A and B are shown apart, each in its own frame.
Chain A
Amino acid sequence: MEKDISSDQKIWRVRPEWPFLLFLVFVVAAYLGLLLLMVGANVLTVSWSQASEILKDADIQHSIILTFVTCTATAILSVLVSVPVGYLLSRYQFRGRALVDTLLDIPILLPPLIVGLSLLILFNRISPSACCGMLAGGALIAAIWGVAQKGNEIIIRFLLGSVVLFGLLSLVFSGSERSLEDIVSEVGFPMTFHPLGVVLAQFPVAAAFAVRTMRTTFDQISPRYEEVAMTLGCNRGQAFIRVVLPLAGKGIVAAGTMAWARALGEFGPILIFAGATRGRTEVLATSVFLEINIGNLPGAAALSLLMILLAVSTLLIVRYLAGRGGAV
């Protein structure tokens, strides 16, 4: 035994730990160094007077407020969508789940410009009749798939109901020359080149990240809690609300933060779908772009610093809150 120990010690002497530790420290230092240099470059480009001047600009103040409002709205919407979607993917095994999973990742994989372009075309070039027709077609394909795979009868009925509903709506709208944008504008929710469009442009990617977070959250919560709650008289919905949601508190905060931060950094879809009109649809990311365009590099650097500050403080605040609440 003693011999073994001494031979172990010998190996430690021969192969010391420090090269590996040094390698780790080097990689971390190089990565953090790059990040710090990037922030430092912004700091060195702008003076206090230039920074305060641009922050006093009425359009920039409007941009800051719109950024806060749209990011918060997008985060709330993303949480509302990601909680049920994440729960479904985490708890239910069904045929075609891998396909649904892949489809939900599409916004993350697509170049951001394509998200904006798709929204622009959808709202302005495609008739409501065609939209309803596409939805009816999608529901029909899903229903046929469900029947072929002997899926849940209630889900198949729901899909068939959707086919009928969207088919009828498609007929109702047929012959209309109006676009989807015309219709949403008529009911008071104009989207294209409008502040509401900013939220819609931020939403697909932000929600995709939130869905990932919520799915991981639910995966980490044992289904045993729901099973026990169900033996005590809960149905699935009650078990979800009474038992799972309180446990998912931290995950919900994390998903909201992820969506908020993602929305803050969104640029391409906003530029294409909502535009970058000063004092109207301009958010901080587009402000930086506009300042670069007019050759005001110090102004762009000042706004970049503001965005960095916002992102870091949001993360710190949420981490602090998450550390105090939640049960996971």
Chain B
Amino acid sequence: MLEQVTVQAGEFVLSPFSLEIGEGECVALMGPSGCGKTTLLETVCGLRDGPVGGRIFLGGLEVTNLPPGARGIGLVPQDVALFPSLTVREQMEFGLKLHGWKLEEIKERVKNLAGDLGLEGLLSRLPEGLSGGEARRVALGRALALRPKLLCLDEALSGLDEARHDEVLGVIRKMIEREGVTALHVTHSKKEAEAIADRVVVMD
């Protein structure tokens, strides 16, 4: 839940913004380029200096001033940002290892995620050997591995051709339902917002 959040990024100031997302709900945040969607998403993720005003709650816990790793957030950024030197398996294991999961639990989780995302045959590949659609699925797996309270998708489908776009959109929708995760999807496409989200919020 965002409560009257005000964000400042350089000279850009986002006026107080409130948004409540129900558990397991997928909300699409839509608006034209430059309206502050990504800035707001980065603030929710804790990637910008704390908001100028307002508070952010996730699962009943105030996270306004918590570091990104302590917020329980999974992020799929616009440019995917898969770590170039890690294999698909290592990408998905990354957060789990940091959080001290046991080896068997990590194996099990990665196996299940890879199965759900159709990545079984790609686990030993490096990002440079993946197609755009595959890279999106890996980024989704990496973000979901830790069972986040909130999945943040930042223009996660941009740059894909129509066939891949629809395929990845279907995978995202399926994974959100299967994992029961709450999701905030930032996009500038109305069609995409309506296809993926339970509710569309328009910023202007």
Interface positions of A (Cβ within 8 A of B): 222, 224-225, 227-235, 238, 243, 246-247, 327
Please indicate which of the listed interface residues A228, A230, A246, A327 has the most CB atoms of chain B within 10 Å of its own CB: A228
Instruction: Verify if B68 is at the interface (C-beta below 8 Å from A).
Output: yes
Closest to B45 in A: A231
B73–A222 CB distance below 8 A = no
How many angstroms from the CA of A231 to the CA of B85 in the assembled complex?
A: 18
Q: Which residues of A contact B45 (CB under 8 A)?
A: 227, 231
Instruction: Verify if B146 is at the interface (C-beta below 8 Å from A).
Output: yes
How many angstroms from the CA of A230 to the CA of B95 in the assembled complex?
A: 9
B129 to chain A, nearest CB (A): 14
B75–A231 CB distance below 8 A = yes
9 smallest beta-carbon distances between A and B, as pairs: A232-B95, A233-B98, A233-B69, A224-B81, A230-B68, A327-B85, A231-B75, A231-B68, A246-B85
B98 to chain A, nearest CB (A): 4
How many angstroms from the CA of A275 to the CA of B162 in the assembled complex?
A: 70
A233–B75 CB distance below 8 A = no
A222–B146 CB distance below 8 A = no
B77–A233 CB distance below 8 A = no
Interface positions of B (Cβ within 8 A of A): 42, 45-47, 67-69, 71, 73-75, 77, 79, 81, 83-85, 94-95, 98-99, 142-143, 146
In the complex with contacts A233-B99, A234-B69, A234-B98, A228-B81 CB distance below 8 A: yes
Closest to A238 in B: B98
How many angstroms from the CA of A229 to the CA of B77 in the assembled complex?
A: 12
How many angstroms from the CA of A227 to the CA of B74 in the assembled complex?
A: 11
A225–B85 CB distance below 8 A = no
Q: Which residues of A contact B42 (CB under 8 A)?
A: 227
Please list 5 pairs of residues, one from A and one from B, whose beta carbons are closer than 8 Å in the complex, sorted by A's number. A224-B77, A231-B46, A231-B69, A232-B142, A238-B98
B47–A230 CB distance below 8 A = yes
Q: Which residues of B contact A327 (CB under 8 A)?
A: 84-85
B85–A230 CB distance below 8 A = no
B93 to chain A, nearest CB (A): 10
How many angstroms from the CA of A124 to the CA of B73 in the assembled complex?
A: 57
How many angstroms from the CA of A238 to the CA of B45 in the assembled complex?
A: 18
Q: Which residues of A contact B98 (CB under 8 A)?
A: 232-234, 238
How many angstroms from the CA of A227 to the CA of B79 in the assembled complex?
A: 12
Q: Which residues of A contact B84 (CB under 8 A)?
A: 247, 327
B75–A227 CB distance below 8 A = yes
In the complex with contacts A238-B98, A246-B85, A233-B146 CB distance below 8 A: yes
How many angstroms from the CA of A224 to the CA of B45 in the assembled complex?
A: 12
In the complex with contacts A231-B69, A232-B98, A247-B75 CB distance below 8 A: no
Q: Which residues of A contact B47 (CB under 8 A)?
A: 227, 230-231
How many angstroms from the CA of A246 to the CA of B86 in the assembled complex?
A: 10
Closest to B148 in A: A231
How many angstroms from the CA of A275 to the CA of B42 in the assembled complex?
A: 56
Q: Which residues of A contact B69 (CB under 8 A)?
A: 230-235
B83–A243 CB distance below 8 A = yes
Q: Which residues of A contact B85 (CB under 8 A)?
A: 246-247, 327
How many angstroms from the CA of A257 to the CA of B98 in the assembled complex?
A: 34
Closest to A243 in B: B83
B73–A231 CB distance below 8 A = yes
In the complex with contacts A232-B142, A233-B99, A227-B83 CB distance below 8 A: no
How many angstroms from the CA of A235 to the CA of B66 in the assembled complex?
A: 12
How many angstroms from the CA of A327 to the CA of B84 in the assembled complex?
A: 7
B125 to chain A, nearest CB (A): 15
Closest to B81 in A: A224
How many angstroms from the CA of A227 to the CA of B99 in the assembled complex?
A: 17
B75–A225 CB distance below 8 A = no
A225–B81 CB distance below 8 A = yes
B198 to chain A, nearest CB (A): 23
In the complex with contacts A231-B73, A235-B67, A222-B79 CB distance below 8 A: yes
